[in-house]
Amino acid sequence: MDAYQSVGIRRRMRRFFRRDGRALIFAMDHGFEHGPTDFEEHWEHVNPRIILRKVVRAGIDGVMMLPGLVRMAGDEVKPNVGLMIKLTSKTNLRPKDDQLLQSQLGYVEDAIKLGADAVAATVYWGSPQEDVMMRQFAEIASYAHDLGFPVVQFAYPRGPYINEKYGRKEDYRVVMYGARAAVESGADMIKTYWTGSRESFAKVVDAAAGVPVLLSGGAKAENPVDFLNLVWEVIEAGGAGAVVGRNIFQRENPEPFIKALLRVVHRNEDPEEAAKAEGLL
């Protein structure tokens, strides 16, 4: 017989992933991590209720937020949508060198009180502060697992030695290392960077050894088809989907774009066809 916790983790994972094992998740921690200027392109989306209503209506599989936004607007996240609560963060106002650290801003108990289906934490692998984030992640993961909650790691390698040795944090050897470190530290889902090609991203997926790998969306692509193509490559590489923020809330009309993304993620549709079907072309 399975331990109760294992059943809980499996059930909660299914609130994000459909039968195909894939998920499209909306990220909205930018007001904290980047500052409200991220919303200036479509200022009405600074209001969490307005943007959440749109993404939920479009059929998103899950939503990721920090605890305070869930408190304000979590009731917009309908019961059939997975709720991921991130328990670490940092502001962009910190001195540059201190931005290689995410600090704890919420606890597993808060996530439970708020009705979360998963908790998340960032580790900047390779940061001079890696040790702090490793411990933070270990504490969150150990406690969350005890209580039957899946734990998501935003495995974001970054730091001076990475730049010196590999030139860029998106080098597949670096991203793959972060994904593997996430697995070995107990993550149930991994969110990480695009490595630039399907072949190299497939290696990241291999290194994750069966733990689902989700793309971290990144800056908005002006042409929506470019982003649909990127997500298509992720799926072709064996990725489990994407966690997308700016590419959704920085669009005036995110609903058809989300629907097109869902076609690519769940139906393997050709990106251009998906864009046409949703009236984006």
- The conformation of residue 269, written as its DSSP 8-state character, comes to -
Looking at the Cβ atoms of 101 and 243, the one nearer to ligand FBP is: 243
Helices 254-267 and 48-58: angle between axes, nearest 10 degrees? 40
Work out how close the CB of 90 gets to ligand FBP at its nearest, in angstroms, rounded to a whole number: 8
The DSSP code sequence of 132-200 is HHHHHHHHHHHHHHHTT--EEEEE---SHHHHHHHSSTTSHHHHHHHHHHHHHTT-SEEEE---SSHHH
Work out how close the CB of 210 gets to ligand FBP at its nearest, in angstroms, rounded to a whole number: 23
Neighbouring-strand partners of residue 63: 26, 83
Closest residue to ligand FBP in the complex (CB): 217
Q: Does residue 191 have an active-site annotation?
A: yes
Q: Does residue 54 have an active-site annotation?
A: no
Looking at the Cβ atoms of 11 and 168, the one nearer to ligand FBP is: 168
Looking at the Cβ atoms of 203 and 216, the one nearer to ligand FBP is: 216
Looking at the Cβ atoms of 27 and 70, the one nearer to ligand FBP is: 27
Catalytic annotation, pick one of 54, 169, 191, 259: 191
Work out how close the CB of 203 gets to ligand FBP at its nearest, in angstroms, rounded to a whole number: 21
Judging by beta carbons within 10 Å of its beta carbon (0-12, 13-18, 19+), is residue 93 exposed, middle or buried?
A: exposed
Work out how close the CB of 218 gets to ligand FBP at its nearest, in angstroms, rounded to a whole number: 5
- The owner of tokens 């700016």 is 246
**Sites of contact with ligand FBP (CB under 6 A):** 27, 29-30, 33-34, 154, 216-218, 243-247
Work out how close the CB of 5 gets to ligand FBP at its nearest, in angstroms, rounded to a whole number: 27
Catalytic annotation, pick one of 54, 86, 156, 172: 156
Neighbours of 207 (CB within 10 A): 21
Helices 130-146 and 4-13: angle between axes, nearest 10 degrees? 110
What is the C-alpha separation between 258 and 247, in angstroms, rounded?
Answer: 9
Looking at the Cβ atoms of 34 and 53, the one nearer to ligand FBP is: 34
Catalytic residues, which ones? 156, 191
